[in-house]
Structure 1
């Protein structure tokens, strides 16, 4: 039997990343591994430049997700000022340095969000420094602000972390109590997602690559991993 830290993520808007190409900034319908690690790191007070701590946290933690309510897709149109292409080749320390050029251009982008999405997340850890109890305490009193993918997406409900002993991931996720009014968001069936190395307690319908394994927080680099998916759970 393992201890699982289980908590909820809900906000009017959330953004769970995806492969950004050109002007598109997509969002998946459930949290990415990189976003969940970033959430825990913020709660623990790990800064972005602390690469060793980020790697230790990443190696220790495994995530499973129950998706009772994937929410609705929202696509937002953005414009942003950018320097001339020649200046992009220079090393710039701040956004202010970037915009000191008298003439700046405009870049268009499209950012995707999920509206009214509810995710239940379970975490296991192999490192006592990041035990479920310590992670739970950190989520209750985070060092840095928490947000759901983007800084414009703070959680709208307490995360309500709970340490649940269970024989497998499915049991831990299904044992977590959702507030009755929040459960009104639920669809008839929930989907489950988990990563390799977890005792899932269910068969997967398929597995798919996901490019959300952090390689470097400072350089914002990611590598692929396999994600297992079960469809149609009650």
Structure 2
């Protein structure tokens, strides 16, 4: 039996950042390790420049996600004006950039992806070298030190996280923990949020950790292991996934 901290994430808009190249800022369909650690860090009051507490948090937890719905894709199109690079000219602030001569101003294009009406269950458990407790994290999620958001500051949670500790025989039981519907009954929630028939489970650690089986599992390396928050450096980790149809669900 293992003790887990489980909680729910829902918002009209969420953005689970992936590797960004050029002007495109894509979003994964579910939160990765970096996003969950960032959420827990905000709740606990761990600042990005506090390297030691960031390390302690990172080394204390393993995470898993149940994607009840990936939501729908929204692509936000942006234009921004920035001055061209010039020798011997340094812009220290955005105000300096906007006050640059108009003849050196260029327009750049970018896009940002969001997931609309996504719904996820998160399970967290402790590692052998943990210096934090699940009780501390549970209380922090109930009364967070910093405001919580789902990937971007424009994406606050729109439903109770409802964190609680559960002792379960396997990770699947923890991720299948039920929560009060966000609207009306469970059937109404499924209809309003257009929940799909397939559920995706993603976890780290032992490939058999979900339910003791390897059947239906797939894996690959994902680059969302936070290494240095101030420099936005991330490393690879092994992630395991399984998609379960409604007829297979429990």
Q: Is the structural similarity TM-score above 0.5? A: yes
Q: What corresponds to 1:193 in structure 2?
A: 202
Q: CA RMSD in A?
A: 2.1
| Farther-moved stretch of structure 1 (156-165 vs 173-182) | 173-182
User: Which of these two proteins has the greater Rg computed from alpha carbons?
Assistant: 2
Distance 1:97 1:53 in 2: 35
| Farther-moved stretch of structure 1 (26-35 vs 95-104) | 95-104
Partner secondary structure for residue 134 of structure 1: helix
Distance 1:18 1:11 in 2: 19
- Work out the number of aligned pairs and report it: 233
Q: Which runs of 5+ in 2 are unaligned?
A: none
Indicate how the Cα distance of structure 1 residues 88 and 208 shifts in structure 2: closer, same or farther if over 3 A, else same. farther
Partner secondary structure for residue 145 of structure 1: coil
Distance 2:163 2:49 in 1: 27
Q: What corresponds to 1:49 in structure 2?
A: 49
Cα distance, 1:131 vs structure 2: 1.4
8 Å Cα contact 1:23/1:108 also seen in 2: yes
Select which of 156, 159, 163 maps to 1:157: 159
8 Å Cα contact 1:45/1:143 also seen in 2: yes
Indicate how the Cα distance of structure 1 residues 60 and 215 shifts in structure 2: closer, same or farther if over 3 A, else same. same
Distance 2:229 2:2 in 1: 29
Q: What corresponds to 2:173 in structure 1?
A: 171
Q: What corresponds to 1:132 in structure 2?
A: 134
Q: Deviations over 1:168-225 (max 9, x none)?
A: 2101111233412444432212110001247221435210221111111000111111
Normalised by the size of structure 1, how large is the TM-score? 0.91
Q: Which runs of 5+ in 1 are unaligned?
A: none
Q: Deviations over 1:101-127 (max 9, x none)?
A: 334332210111111100100001236
